[in-house]
Structure 1
Amino acid sequence: MPGTTAVRVRYDEVEVGDLLPEATYPVQRLNLVMYAGASGDFNPIHWNERFAKSVGLPDVIAHGMLTMALAGRLVTDWVGDPGAVVDYRVRFSAPVVVPDDDKGAEVTVGGTVKEKLDGGRVLVNLTATSDGTKVLTRADVIVALG
């Protein structure tokens, strides 16, 4: 999946209200199969359309942790160091529905610096949507900046 270019960000260059560059990440059924293999989560709601619909879902849905990882990727691409993430919490508010077509789904992620903390850390609030629906709420990341 294509992402943004990594950029090293320094604490003294960041201000409250700064926006992280928005990114859109494609999600196709193949990504769900690959994630299932990596995570060990083979729940059929993530790969079997008939089963997903039988339990009331509109179609196959992406793994919540995959959605969370895509949102977190915005931050790690912005700061340029995955190890800079100190704390990361989200609430899942809606599933990412992944149709079985060439387009699949997209997750669009944005972020705002909400607070400068002690020790060179910042609190970033993320927004994540798919097909116009907010898929994560209370998505907060604490990042240690150089």
Structure 2
Amino acid sequence: MAAGISYDDVEVGTELPPQSFPVGRGDLVRYAGASGDFNPIHWNPRFAVEVGLPDVIAHGMFTMAEAVRVVTDWVGDPGAVVEYSVKFTRPVVVPDPEGAVVEVTGKVAQKLDDRRVRVDLHVTCGDAGKVLGVPRAVVQLA
């Protein structure tokens, strides 16, 4: 059950605090180690360019995980997220050394039964624009 946020106190349209998530090559290496996804498009710029990418790109699941942090930080309990889905629309290109920044905003879009709310996210990265399509989470509130 979510800590601190009551279903009765949340309205449709409630905005979650926006967040920015810097992404560097080191983050991608650490994520590769944790996930076991060592695809060279995530760490080898020569390979990434050879397969048609502009540079190394972040793992899609890494981007997805960073985005949902807006929801888990707002609700205060990662276990309160009972559903989460996205569509991958554009890659997050991570140039070296400057990296990239993923920008995330969220809004309560719907109040559901059983003290749950649906939160819709908007996830962008620089010139790429929207990098996740239809990102939404269902959260169990107190």
Counterpart residue number, 2:100:
105
Gaps of 5+ in 1: 1-6
Counterpart residue number, 1:123:
118
SS at structure 2 position matched to 1:58: coil
Gaps of 5+ in 2: none
1:94 aligns with 2:109: no
Task: Work out which of the residue numbers 58, 67, 73 in structure 2 matches 1:71.
Answer: 67
* 1:13 positional shift: 1.0
Instruction: Provide the aligned C-alpha RMSD in A.
Output: 0.9
The percentage of counterpart residues that share the same residue type is 62
Instruction: Give yes or no for contact 1:8–1:78 (8 Å, CA) kept in 2.
Output: no
Letter paired with 2:91: P
Counterpart residue number, 2:109:
114
Letter paired with 1:119: D
1:85 aligns with 2:81: yes
- Take 2:62 and 2:113, find their aligned partners in 1: how far apart are those partners? 30
Instruction: Give yes or no for contact 1:123–1:141 (8 Å, CA) kept in 2.
Output: yes
- Take 1:106 and 1:9, find their aligned partners in 2: how far apart are those partners? 28
1:29 aligns with 2:22: no
Letter paired with 1:130: C
Counterpart residue number, 2:140:
144
- Take 1:61 and 1:145, find their aligned partners in 2: how far apart are those partners? 35
Counterpart residue number, 2:49:
53
Ranges of 4+ aligned residues in structure 1 off by more than 4 Å: none
- Take 2:133 and 2:110, find their aligned partners in 1: how far apart are those partners? 17
Counterpart residue number, 1:17:
13
* 1:8 positional shift: 3.0
The number of aligned residues is 139
Q: Give the TM-score, by structure 1 length.
A: 0.93
SS at structure 2 position matched to 1:31: helix
- Take 1:8 and 1:32, find their aligned partners in 2: how far apart are those partners? 33
Q: Give the TM-score, by structure 2 length.
A: 0.96
